[in-house]
């Protein structure tokens, strides 16, 4: 039995909460997290309190930001209340699968999927982030029924070599390198009436600068054991997953000093990675909107986008979906993170399960939009 904020949570109550989460009948998937908030309020879990706790844990400085972007685990004693509250406000997309389907009724589902940490596990060596055969097979089946895009920070050639499916859309380099399918697909909606692949590269003029900075960073970071600089064509990634935490500060300082000479480039953080991108107003959210427009759904109410991702950079897409009031964002994470996503999945295996269930549903309901 655990007592916090004068609220006693017994195993029986916890079981009841889990039952409510998995069985509650809601009019739409968009209201599911809000309905979970009612349960949270009943138990004294405040959404604002939870967010403030997260914000309060961050202090100014790159190192704290790097740590915040790369959480590892939740301590059962210190963060019990945050974990419970987070689950209530961001319930499992698997447990509320039927509600998500209900919301998509009569609409065209379109998938947007991050790669690392979503379709493949996060690994120490970014060059070995291979997806499983099972995931590839499921992804191939998904693309047969729904327009499907990979939206990633990786360069397009590299992510294509991982995925190896020509029937997908690829929005690489955080959406700055977009290409449509190069293989005929059976999804209901094609990219355009002319069947021509999408090609959009809004940051082409930055290529010489990015190549120049890449070479400088290779030289500047080679003294930091475990650091790896990846050239993703229209952006750069400085991986510190294999860097001792004591060396994070020197690494961040080296990167900062280099970028001081390049004001047209900006620095952001992801999961154990520093991202360097052009300062243009383009991100994964913009890429999502561009692809929806290319599909003919710019101002349509007949589309249901589902965006699944695990990283801070995916938050731009989650925010777009909230602003549009369409579809759902699903965060892949087993630990609490501040997010604009409505639902969560624990890891790539749950992502595969979710995608497979949608494929099976479509096979049983072939006439559904």
Q: CB of 131 within 8 A of CB of 60?
A: no
**pLDDT at residue number 271:** 82
The pTM of the full predicted model, rounded to 2 decimals, is: 0.78
**pLDDT at residue number 14:** 53
CA 187 – CA 359 distance, rounded (Å): 12
**pLDDT at residue number 92:** 96
Contacts of 97 (CB under 8 A, 6+ apart): 354, 357
**pLDDT at residue number 13:** 45
CA 176 – CA 367 distance, rounded (Å): 35
**How much of the chain is helix, strand and coil, in % rounded to 5?**
45, 15, 40
Tens-level pLDDT at each residue, the chain (369 residues): 444 444 444 454 454 455 444 444 444 555 555 455 444 443 444 444 433 333 333 334 556 666 655 555 444 445 677 778 888 889 999 999 999 999 999 999 999 999 999 999 999 898 999 999 999 999 999 999 999 999 999 999 999 999 999 999 999 999 999 999 976 544 444 444 445 566 899 999 999 999 999 999 999 999 999 999 999 999 999 999 999 999 999 999 999 999 999 999 999 888 889 999 999 999 999 999 999 999 999 889 999 999 999 999 999 999 999 999 999 999 999 989 899 999 999 999 999 999 999 999 999 988 776
**pLDDT at residue number 162:** 97
- From its phi and psi, is residue 219 left (phi > 0), alpha (psi between -120 and 50) or beta? alpha
CA 96 – CA 114 distance, rounded (Å): 21
CA 92 – CA 343 distance, rounded (Å): 6
């Amino acid at each position: 039995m655990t007592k916090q904020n004068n609220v006693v949570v017994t195993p029986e109550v916890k079981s009841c909460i889990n039952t409510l989460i998995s069985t509650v009948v809601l009019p739409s998937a968009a209201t599911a997290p809000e309905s979970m908030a009612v349960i949270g309020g009943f138990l004294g879990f405040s959404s604002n309190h939870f967010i403030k706790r997260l914000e309060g844990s961050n202090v100014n400085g790159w190192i704290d930001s790097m740590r915040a972007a790369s959480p590892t685990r939740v301590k059962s004693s210190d963060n019990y209340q945050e974990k419970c509250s987070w689950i209530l406000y961001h319930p499992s997309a698997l447990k509320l699968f039927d509600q998500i389907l209900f919301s998509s009724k009569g609409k065209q589902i379109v998938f947007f999927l991050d790669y690392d940490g979503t379709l493949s596990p996060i690994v120490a060596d970014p060059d070995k982030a291979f997806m499983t055969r099972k995931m590839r097979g499921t992804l191939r089946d998904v693309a047969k029924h729904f327009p499907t895009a990979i939206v990633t920070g990786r360069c397009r050639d590299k992510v294509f070599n991982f995925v190896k499916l020509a029937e997908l859309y690829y929005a690489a380099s955080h959406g700055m390198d977009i290409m449509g399918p190069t293989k005929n697909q059976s999804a209901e909606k094609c990219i355009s009436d002319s069947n021509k692949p999408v090609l959009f590269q809004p940051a082409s003029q930055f290529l010489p600068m990015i190549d120049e900075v890449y070479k400088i960073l290779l030289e500047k970071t080679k003294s930091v054991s475990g650091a790896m600089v990846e050239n993703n064509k229209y952006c750069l990634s400085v991986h510190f997953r294999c860097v001792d935490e004591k060396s994070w500060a020197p690494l961040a300082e080296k990167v900062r000093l280099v970028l001081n000479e390049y004001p047209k480039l900006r620095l952001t953080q992801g999961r154990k990675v520093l991202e360097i991108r052009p300062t243009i107003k383009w991100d994964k959210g913009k890429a999502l909107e561009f692809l929806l427009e290319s599909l003919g759904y710019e101002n349509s109410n007949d589309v249901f986008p589902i965006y699944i991702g695990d990283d801070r950079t995916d938050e731009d897409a989650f925010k777009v979906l909230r602003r549009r009031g369409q579809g759902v964002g699903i965060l892949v994470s087993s630990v609490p993170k501040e997010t604009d996503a409505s639902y969560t999945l624990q890891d790539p295996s749950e992502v595969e399960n979710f995608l497979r269930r949608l494929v099976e549903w479509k096979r049983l309901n072939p006439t559904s939009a």
